[in-house]
Amino acid sequence: MENPISDPWHQLRRLTTARIALGRTGGSLPTRELLDFRLAHARARDAVHAPFDPDAFADRLRSLGTETLCLESAAATQTDFLRRPDLGRRLAASSRARLRARDAAGGRNPCDLVIIISDGLSSRAAVEHGPPLLAALIPLIRQSGWKLAPLVVARHGRVALQDEIGELLHARLSLILLGERPGLGAADSLGAYFTYAPHPGLTDAARNCVSNIRAEGFPPATAAQKLFYLITQSLQRGLSGVDLKDDALLLTAQPSKPLLADNQGV
């Protein structure tokens, strides 16, 4: 094995979690590094295939004091979800009918924001980081005076599922939190995507994203501040996606005291 002291790359390992300066044993990786790689790969696979119980998760979220609905995407099974991404982008017929019946019973009831949370490609990310993010974000939303739709828990959802849900709930803006595709460096990364004036057929150019939400990446409490700032800008300007730029300074305030930059033009 190469002497780590003489290898200038070895010093860079202190600055990144990337797999660099792994060393070698003959023409192969050292056993320790090979086992670490296999462990990371196993964790990524487990994150994708781990079961997700939307009803139990919804019960947990009701402690936040908001009405919670459980819906399903058109992907009936995990296998369908993985093989047919298009099914995860639209609601199951039963869930669509449920929202339409709710709308018919209560009359058209527009709202400013609907928040959806889904397992996506990492149920671990949703279960571990979704609740603390929402616990920090929902009080900010309530203080703003916005009208919030019921919180939606959707199983087997892809990002674009927010478009149909947002339209059916007459939301000015939809926000979906879901587990991102696991990598070998992180199997629990949560992504947050929001869209102004959601409706089916939108492309990713209409969305904004805050990604890598996790303790070792973008901590949930800080991510909530960033999302609140961006959502405020989106609702005030009536746009999202490539037309909405993040012009705020890096948020450095304590989680309990969010620091928001002045509203400025793009």
The per-residue pLDDT for range 56-82, each reduced to its tens digit, is 999 999 988 889 999 999 999 999 999
Phi, psi of 253 (to 5 degrees): -75, 165
Phi, psi of 89 (to 5 degrees): -95, 0
Determine the average pLDDT of the residues in 143-156: 95
Is 221 a residue whose pLDDT tops 60?
yes
Q: CA 237, CA 75: separation in Å to the nearest integer?
A: 35
Residue ranges making up the domain that contains 117: 48-243
Number of domains comprising the chain: 1
Between 252 and 99, residue with greater pLDDT: 99
Task: Evaluate whether 109 touches 115 at the Cβ level (below 8 Å).
Answer: no
Task: Evaluate whether 231 touches 194 at the Cβ level (below 8 Å).
Answer: yes
41 inside domain: no
Kindly indicate the confidence band of residue 249, based on its pLDDT and cuts at 50, 70 and 90: low
Is 96 a residue whose pLDDT tops 60?
yes
- In whole numbers, what is the pLDDT of the chain averaged over residues? 87
Is 254 a residue whose pLDDT tops 70?
no
Domain of 105, CATH number, reads 3.40.50.11240
19 inside domain: no
DSSP 200: T
Between 160 and 262, residue with greater pLDDT: 160
Between 26 and 85, residue with greater pLDDT: 85
Kindly indicate the confidence band of residue 32, based on its pLDDT and cuts at 50, 70 and 90: confident
11 inside domain: no
186 inside domain: yes
Q: Which helix (H) or strand (E) holds 177?
A: strand 171-179
52 inside domain: yes
- Please enumerate in sequence order all residues whose Cβ is within 8 A of that of 4, keeping only pairs 6 or more positions apart, or say none: 10, 21, 23
Between 259 and 176, residue with greater pLDDT: 176
Say what the pLDDT of residue 61 is.
93
Determine the average pLDDT of the residues in 226-243: 95
Say what the pLDDT of residue 251 is.
43
Q: CA 69, CA 60: separation in Å to the nearest integer?
A: 12
199 inside domain: yes
Determine the average pLDDT of the residues in 189-197: 96
Say what the pLDDT of residue 265 is.
33
Which two structure tokens, joined as six digits, stand for 70? 């459980």
Say what the pLDDT of residue 149 is.
94
Say what the pLDDT of residue 6 is.
61
> Which residue type sits at 76?
A
Say what the pLDDT of residue 185 is.
79
* Alpha helix segments (H runs only) across 62-171: 78-83, 93-106, 123-144, 161-168
What is the reported pTM? 0.83
Say what the pLDDT of residue 69 is.
95
- Please enumerate in sequence order all residues whose Cβ is within 8 A of that of 65, keeping only pairs 6 or more positions apart, or say none: 138
Is 252 a residue whose pLDDT tops 50?
no
Is 106 a residue whose pLDDT tops 70?
yes
152 inside domain: yes
177 inside domain: yes
